[in-house]
Chain A
Amino acid sequence: MEFSPRFETYVLLSKKDKTVGSMLGGIIPSKESSLSHLKHALIKGAYLEGNDTRAIYLGSDLAKRLDVDVGEEIAMIGSSLDYSTAADLFTVKGIFRTGLFEFDSTSAFANKAYLDNIMMSKNKASYFTLSFLDNQAAAKYVNALKDKLPRTCEALSWQMLLSTLVQAMQVDSLFGYISISIFFLVIFFVIMIFSYVSIYARTRQIGLLRALGFTPKDIRILLFNEMLIIAFFSVTLGGIIGAAVTYYFEIHPLVVSGLAETYKDYGIISDALPTRFDLFTISWNALSIFILNLTSILYPIYKINQLSVTEAMRHV
């Protein structure tokens, strides 16, 4: 489920008499580097690596506030998950700059594997990038998370981030629905056009059938059944292909670099566009298309049944 968990916690970073509150993120460097442009935001020193221990990756403005440079040592104090004080010394390994002031002046990252030891946060992640498409799951998750967070976080931007996450998802889904309804509208028309055209190509044949004693109702049933068969096959095929594609993208998510950092304040916390392989969504979409298919031939059938037998027979 998680393809890049992050553990984030509010800590104090300090050098000499300068102490600054900051968000320290525990990341898996290799995974993160393929997903986000955190690595590319590097301006000095080096990016984190999987076997790093006391290495910290600092935002440029945060480094400025602490008055530290690459290679220098800073102290970190935070609260671990059992409420005890977590403290350690870190060496600045690299400095990054995303251009987003709020982010650059408050964020720091360390290797999750190491940070987990200090914070006792092993197997805990502050968020999973995937839960984000599923409103309900995320809301539940957010609530669960609230309980798990150290109390010291309470007054801080954490909650702000989390509540925004939920809201962002709601807005996102609203506009998603609007877009999808436009897509469906076009698809509906295209199917209707095609079925109309293909039914009309058979006008003569239908006229013949009518002459042989078929009622308009029989014609309707005939065409509807044909559509049913076509729709069934196309939806099944489309469903399988769609599911395969979705499944592929769930494992290899699409990445728009920089998205996470850019939209952090708006609650979008990964730059991978998470694609979720969810049978429910897939079947729901397939069913909609199926119904769309069937409704789209109603008008063509009506039109063809309007024609009299002779008209149909003479049709060119």
Chain B
Amino acid sequence: MYKIAGQLAWKSLMRRKTRTWMVITMIAMSLSGLLLLQGIYDGMVSHMINTAIRSDSGEISLYASKYRLEKNLDYRIGNLEDIKKYLDKQNMIDAYVIRLAQEGLAATAHKSLGAILKGISLEDERRFGNFDTFLSQGEYSFGDKDREALVGFKLAEKLKATLGSRLIFTAQDANGEINAIAFRIKGIVKTGGLAIDEGSIFISMEKMAEFLSLSGAATQIALRIKNESKIKNVQNALQREFESIDVLRWDELYPLLIQMREMMDVFNMVSYMIVFTIAALGIFGVILVSILERVREFSIMLAIGTPYQNIRHQIVTEAFIMSLFGYVLGAFSGGILLLYTASSGIDFRYFEAGLESFGLNAVLYADIRGYYFLQAFGAVFFATLLSVLWPLRVLKKIKPIEAIQGKML
């Protein structure tokens, strides 16, 4: 019986090809657009998270307790050797970097601005998060005798400094003395993270230690843990081992990024809801009309004893065949679009200049996740269900005799 209903559904769809194709194209096109949008949004957030992890926090960062509050060298990590020894033994930790930072004043002949000077090891940073890939101009090097520095691009711009310019940094050393240090700009970095782009200067760890009269100390140790499920374990173990140190995960350090991700999810949901409510309207129209057109047909079927369920089944099948085609087509083209944008990216440079400085690259790469397609399926399913409800009610109200006599039309 169902087989007949199915066949009838298929036949009636084929009879109105244009209409059917319109519905299918509508679903397919809006679906692929939504999939792409979701992929780009997620890609954008992942990119920001990834940048924050690579250029700053790692999966886990260690700070002396109170350092983040006071930003003062009095609260520094002193037992560096112990920690290093411990970290070297952990096979969960893929890489780690030690940084020594101090806030102060960066100046050129034209301008002076508050900034953070960070002592780092270029080699370690490269291993840690490919820091060299953030270089936008110049060389990834501190020059001969560590007399040169890497500078965030926004900071350089504001200071009116370019490659080779001389910068002076003034800050308090570990003894509270105010000192100044001079260096030339060897490279300009652009991470997309505001803290680095607008306010950071990197010099060699050795030079930094000398400047601050402070050796064997750090203000931050960042760790990379590639195995996501182990992050919490490592954090707990570290916290137990070093009680006086704050052990923080990246999501604790950048709660904004997590919230941003949640926000994007909400945004995607809302987009889906709006789009598929409108789409449901389209499906609804087609189904309703196809029922009204066939009232006589259905009435005869009812009159000769076909159960109402069968007719309902036929209608629902019609609707779902269309939707399913639409979904498959949409998921397929959306998937291809996503694959393309995930590998080659979309260049947004032509659209907005501001995007770049917002913490994003001009070329955005989409994320692809399996659940996108599941979610899309859910949306199509519900839209279809929604759209057949009303037409079915209309169908139920048909009075076969009157319809056959042509009174209802």
Q: Which of A260-282 contact B (CB under 8 A)?
A: 262-263, 265-266
Selecting from B27-35, B136-144, B370-378, the interface stretch reads B27-35
The answer for the CA separation of A181 and B37 in the assembled complex, in Å, is 11
Q: Are B37 and A167 in contact (CB under 8 A)?
A: no
| List of A residues within 8 angstroms of B40 by Cβ | 178
- Given the interface pairs A155-B112, A193-B282, the reply to whether A262 lies near B68 with Cβ below 8 Å is no
**Interface residue SS majority, chain A:** helix
Chain B's nearest CB lies how many Å from the CB of A52?
27
Q: How far is the CA of A175 from the CA of B267 in the complex (A)?
A: 11
Q: Which residues of A contact B68 (CB under 8 A)?
A: 101, 105
Chain A residues with CB below 8 A from B289, complex form? 197, 201
- Distance in Å: Cβ of A87 to nearest Cβ of chain B: 23
Contacts of A61 in B (CB 8 A): 69
> Could you say which of A37-45, A182-190, A224-232 contacts chain B?
A182-190
A190 and B281 contacting across the interface, CB-CB below 8 Å: yes
Contact A174 B279 (CB under 8 A): no
A170 and B198 form a contact (CB under 8 A): no
Name the A residues within 8 Å of B81 (CB-CB): none
Q: Which one of A166, A174, A196 contacts B348 once the chains associate, using CB atoms below 8 Å?
A: A174
- Indicate if B285 sits at the interface (CB-CB under 8 A): yes
Docked-complex contact B256 and A190, CB < 8 angstroms: no
Q: How many residues from A make CB contacts under 8 Å with B?
A: 43
Separation of A173 and B29 alpha carbons in the complex (Å): 22
| B352 A182 Cβ-Cβ under 8 A | no
Residues A99 and B255 in contact, CB atoms below 8 Å apart: yes
A182 to B260, CA, bound (A): 22
How far apart sit A266 and B263, CA to CA, in the bound complex (Å)?
13
Among listed B18-26, B169-177, B225-233, B394-402, interface-contacting one: B18-26
Q: Mark A233-270, 1 if CB is under 8 A from B, else 0.
A: 00000000000000000000000000000110110000
Q: Check B285 against A186 for contact (C-beta < 8 Å).
A: no
Contacts of A200 in B (CB 8 A): 19
A189 touches B29 (CB 8 A): yes
Does A151 reach chain B (CB closer than 8 Å)? no
Residues of chain A from 82 to 136 with CB closer than 8 A to chain B in the complex: 99-101, 105
Residues B256 and A196 in contact, CB atoms below 8 Å apart: no
Task: Of the listed stretches B4-12, B124-132, B210-218, B354-362, name the one at the interface; the rest are far from the partner chain.
Answer: B354-362
Contacts of B360 in A (CB 8 A): 171
Bound-state CA distance A166–B357 (Å) is 10
A310 proximity list for chain B (CB < 8 A): none
Beta-carbon contact of B354 and A303 below 8 Å? no
- Residues in chain B near residue A190, CB distance under 8 A: 26, 278-279, 281-282, 285
Evaluate whether A182 and B37 lie within 8 angstroms (CB atoms) in the complex, with A171-B355, A196-B19, A197-B289 already known: yes
Query: Interface code B182-216, partner A: CB below 8 Å = 1, 0 otherwise?
Result: 00000000000010001000000000000000000
Chain A residues contacting B29 (CB-CB under 8 Å) are 185, 189
Q: How far is the CA of A147 from the CA of B256 in the complex (A)?
A: 30
The answer on a CB contact under 8 Å between A266 and B256 is yes
A156 to B23 Cα, complex, angstroms: 56
Cβ of B37: which chain A residues have Cβ within 8 Å of it?
A: 175, 178-179, 182
Known A164-B194, A186-B282: A155·B113 in contact at CB below 8 Å: yes
A23 at interface by CB-CB < 8 Å: no
Chain A residue, CB-CB nearest to B356: A167
Tell me the count of chain B residues lying within 8 A, CB to CB, of chain A.
Answer: 47
Q: Contacts A182-B271, A193-B282 given: A100-B256 contact, CB under 8 Å? A: yes
Cβ contact within 8 Å between B33 and A185: yes
Question: B259: CB under 8 A from chain A?
Answer: yes
Which A residues touch B300, using CB under 8 A? none
Contact of B358 among A105, A170, A189 (CB under 8 A): A170
| Complex contact B358–A168 (CB within 8 A) | yes
Bitwise interface map of A from 199 to 211 toward B, beta carbon under 8 Å scored 1, else 0: 0110000000000
Say if the beta carbon of B328 comes within 8 Å of chain A.
Answer: no
Most buried by A among B33, B253, B259, B354: B354
Q: Which residues of B contact A171 (CB under 8 A)?
A: 352, 354-355, 358, 360
Q: Does A160 contact B (CB under 8 A)?
A: yes
Query: When the two chains form their complex, are residues A263 and B256 in contact, meaning their CB atoms are under 8 A apart?
Result: yes
Task: Please pick, from A163, A170, A183, A201, the residue contacting B352 in the complex, using a CB distance under 8 A.
Answer: A170
B-chain residues with CB within 8 Å of residue A155 when the two chains form the complex: 105, 112-114
A284 in contact (CB, < 8 A): no
Residue of A nearest to B28 (CB): A189
Q: Which residues of B contact A100 (CB under 8 A)?
A: 255-256
Q: A262-B256, A265-B194 are in contact. Are A193 and B275 (CB under 8 A)?
A: no
Which of A155, A163, A182 gathers the greatest number of chain B CB atoms within 10 Å? A182
B20 to chain A, nearest CB (A): 10
- Measured CB to CB, the closest approach of chain B to A287, in angstroms, equals 19
15 residue pairs bridging A and B, Cβ less than 8 Å apart: A61-B69, A99-B255, A101-B68, A105-B69, A160-B194, A160-B198, A166-B354, A168-B358, A175-B37, A175-B41, A183-B275, A186-B278, A186-B279, A187-B278, A263-B256
- Which 4 interchain pairs have the tightest Cβ spacing? A170-B354, A189-B26, A190-B282, A167-B354
Interface residues of B (CB under 8 A from A): 18-19, 22-23, 25-26, 29-30, 33-34, 37, 40-41, 68-70, 105, 112-114, 194, 198, 253, 255-256, 259-260, 271, 274-275, 278-279, 281-282, 285-286, 289, 293, 348, 351-355, 357-358, 360
**Extra 11 A-B pairs, beta carbons < 8 Å, given A166-B354, A186-B26:** A64-B69, A101-B255, A155-B112, A167-B358, A179-B271, A182-B34, A186-B275, A190-B281, A192-B22, A193-B286, A201-B289
